[in-house]
Amino acid sequence: MGSPGPATISLMAAGSAYGVRRSLSYLIGIVVGTTIVLLAVATGITAALLAVPAIGSILIWISVAYILWLAYHIATAPPLAEPTEASSTFSVAGGTLLGIANPKAWVAIAAVFASGRLADDATTDAAAKIAVLTAMIIAICAIWLVAGTSIAPLLRDPGRARVVNAALAVALVGATALAVLH
């Protein structure tokens, strides 16, 4: 968790394009979506996905389609003159969808729940993991969003903006490909 992936890279792109304040709704969406994944894994939906692999395959392809669409919008974003209103691409709904559809989140969260126990009682163990992971999700997402603001000056120059936007889009697609292929 916390390494470059679809959610973190898109948060960096949102932060660089719109700043922290105008991207907060997107961050909230990603936190909500990832928390939904966390709760789904904690309640055992992963077992259902494993029992009916077609559901997992459908989710992966929906994820890939959305992430490719998002990468296209990042790659083709115009250079910044001044910070503008956040586009609908970086909305609460878009963030929630990405949080839910992010294959890396499912794998990372499932790995935590499959690993060692934090408590002897299963309910206490699950509650502790949910609390720790929720705090991590919020902190990690906020860090990547703020990191994106540090590259905003690069996006004011058209040539550098194209390079940065293309690099973020390629990184987003690459991180997704790695998550899907593992």
Percent of the chain with pLDDT over 90: 26
Return the residue matching tokens 């903006």.
Answer: 161
CA angle 75, 146, 154 (to 5 degrees): 45
> What is the pTM for the complete model shown?
0.72
Structure confidence at residue 168 (pLDDT): 81
CA distance 89 to 94: 6
* Rounded distance between C-alpha atoms, residue 58 and residue 66, angstroms: 12
Per-residue pLDDT at 65 exceeds 60: yes
Amino acid 69: pLDDT: 83
Most confident range (mean pLDDT) of 4-8, 11-15, 65-69 is 11-15
User: Which of 158, 169, 164 lies closest to 79, judged by CA?
Assistant: 158
Q: pLDDT (tens digit, 9 = 90+) per residue, 25-44?
A: 999 999 999 999 999 988 88
Strand, helix or coil for residue 174: helix
What are the pLDDT digits (tens) for 112-152? 887 778 888 888 988 999 999 999 999 999 999 999 998 88
Confidence of residue 82 (pLDDT cuts 50, 70, 90): low
Output the pLDDT for position 49. Answer: 66
**Does residue 180 or residue 137 have the better pLDDT?**
137
Higher-pLDDT residue of 155 and 69 is 69
Q: State how far the Cα of 79 lies from the Cα of 15, in Å rounded to an integer.
A: 14
Rounded CA gap, 65 and 6, in Å? 12
Class of residue 115 by CB neighbours under 10 A (exposed 0-12, middle 13-18, buried 19+): exposed
